[in-house]
Amino acid sequence: MIPFVDLRAQYLSIKPEVDAAVLKVLDSTQFVLGPEVKAFEEMFSAYCQTREAIGVNTGTSALHLALLAIGVGPGDEVITTPFTFIATVSAIVYTGARPVLVDIDPATLTIDPALIEAAITSRTKAILPVHLYGQPAEMDAIMDIAKRHGIAVIEDAAQAHGAEYRGRRVGSIGDAGCFSFYPGKNLGAYGEGGAVTTDAPEIARKVRMLRDWGAERKYLHELKGFNFRLEGVQGAVLKVKMSHIERWTEARRGCAAYYDRRLAALVRTQSVPAHVRHVYHIYAIRHPHRDALQAALQAKGIATGIHYPVPVHLQPCFADLGYGAGAFPHAEGAAKEVLSLPLYPELETSAQDVVMAALEDWLAKRAA
């Protein structure tokens, strides 16, 4: 059996370090926020090349609070992509603003900047690009549009820790960046977690207040806040993982390059421009008979994933946004065809060989 991800392999590789760090938190009884979270925030902001990083309880909360901190609320519009995890759009809805969707570039699968300008209205407050699968969206074009229209850019970097666009780390390019530390993400906590990165002191101050009931001073609530605090144990685990993240990211990139060498000629893959550093949260291929391919791989003990089978505008819960089938042909096409292959830092070359042989075998049988 080749799993899609293997969290146990990574835990075993750092077990003594992590166990000691967790026990230290238990011993200190600093269960929520505290020194481990603060130390992690400092390491993470340095890693993202930003002045500030604010730890929160989930990636979804990071998006929600970043949007609130730049003043997004009822009556506003935020432009994003329909080809993402549902949380991107849910976070916009939580603020009371309206999500305005534009289609993806079918080659890169990230938001198509050429379609953004036509979606801008007098109500548009922000653009929310998603660095899908760990590949940065086309940020130069997005930042240029935002500057010309005087609107903000919030990066959904939940899948893209350490990814770079023209040498700059994601999360440092827009007004704020939002990260998830869900266990399966490239930097994963042992529970839930997230962070907002920013260079703007005022955004940082607001996010810090909003995550902790809108108060800078205890029991004086300036803003209507939330309980979105990061736990001490998660801060400690993430801090340990920071000293390994670059090695793990390079291992992911190595796995992707190894897949590319044999698969690029056989199937369609996400195209990766030369000016980005893709960090491969997901390695996806495309095939018109995706479901049959997935079943064939499963029959050979190879687990795969689909990210994502239903685009956000076709989710029942967002029917009220008013976009029907056919609204975003490239997102809908990708949703029907993408298949995510096993990829994690500890994945062995021999396992990748098995995956690729099974894929070649299935393609050869189809052609016969």
Ligand X SMILES: *Cc1c(COP(=O)(O)O)cnc(C)c1O
CB of 320 to ligand X, least distance (A): 21
Confirm or reject binding of residue 308 to ligand X (CB under 6 A): no
Confirm or reject binding of residue 88 to ligand X (CB under 6 A): yes
User: Considering only residues 156, 164, 175, 332, which one is a binding residue for ligand X as defined by CB under 6 A?
Assistant: 156
Q: Give the span between the Cα atoms of 137 and 237, in whole angstroms.
A: 29
With CB atoms as reference, the residue minimizing the distance to ligand X is 59
Residue range at the interface with ligand X (CB under 6 A); choices 57-65, 169-177, 326-334, 345-353:
57-65
Confirm if 176 and 68 have CB atoms less than 8 A apart. Answer: no
In this complex, which beta carbon is closest to ligand X, that of residue 195 or of residue 293? 195
Handedness of CA 316, 322, 325, 328 (dihedral sign): negative
In this complex, which beta carbon is closest to ligand X, that of residue 188 or of residue 362? 188
Give which of 60, 53, 55, 109 is closest to 81, Cα–Cα: 109
User: Considering only residues 2, 18, 79, 87, which one is a binding residue for ligand X as defined by CB under 6 A?
Assistant: 87
Torsion of Cα atoms, 16 then 22 then 26 then 27, to 10°: 50
Confirm if 62 and 194 have CB atoms less than 8 A apart. Answer: yes
Confirm or reject binding of residue 283 to ligand X (CB under 6 A): no
Phi, psi at 313, each rounded to 5°? -70, -15
In this complex, which beta carbon is closest to ligand X, that of residue 84 or of residue 198? 84
CB of 89 to ligand X, least distance (A): 9
Q: Give the span between the Cα atoms of 48 and 59, in whole angstroms.
A: 16
Confirm or reject binding of residue 158 to ligand X (CB under 6 A): yes
Confirm or reject binding of residue 130 to ligand X (CB under 6 A): yes
Q: Give the span between the Cα atoms of 292 and 116, in whole angstroms.
A: 35
Confirm or reject binding of residue 60 to ligand X (CB under 6 A): yes
In this complex, which beta carbon is closest to ligand X, that of residue 94 or of residue 362? 94
Q: Give the binding-site size for ligand X (rule: CB under 6 A).
A: 14
Tell me whether strands 168-169 and 164-165 are parallel, antiparallel or unpaired: antiparallel
Phi, psi at 351, each rounded to 5°? -70, -40
Confirm or reject binding of residue 234 to ligand X (CB under 6 A): no
Confirm or reject binding of residue 232 to ligand X (CB under 6 A): no
In this complex, which beta carbon is closest to ligand X, that of residue 84 or of residue 304? 84
Residue range at the interface with ligand X (CB under 6 A); choices 54-62, 145-153, 239-247, 292-300:
54-62
In this complex, which beta carbon is closest to ligand X, that of residue 95 or of residue 180? 180
- The beta-strand segments (E) located in the chain are 52-56, 77-80, 98-101, 124-127, 152-156, 164-165, 168-169, 176-180, 194-198, 215-217, 220-221, 268-269, 276-277, 283-286, 338-341
Q: Give the span between the Cα atoms of 159 and 184, in whole angstroms.
A: 10
In this complex, which beta carbon is closest to ligand X, that of residue 182 or of residue 259? 182
Q: Give me the amino acid identity at 253.
A: R
Confirm or reject binding of residue 58 to ligand X (CB under 6 A): yes
Binding mask 163-202 for ligand X (x = CB under 6 A): -----------------x-x-----------x--------
In this complex, which beta carbon is closest to ligand X, that of residue 158 or of residue 321? 158
The distance from CA 152 to its chain's CA centroid, rounded to whole angstroms, is: 19
Confirm or reject binding of residue 279 to ligand X (CB under 6 A): no
In this complex, which beta carbon is closest to ligand X, that of residue 111 or of residue 158? 158
Q: Give the span between the Cα atoms of 67 and 70, in whole angstroms.
A: 5
Confirm or reject binding of residue 85 to ligand X (CB under 6 A): yes
Q: Under the rule (CB under 6 A), what is the footprint of ligand X? A: 58-60, 84-85, 87-88, 130, 156, 158-159, 180, 182, 194
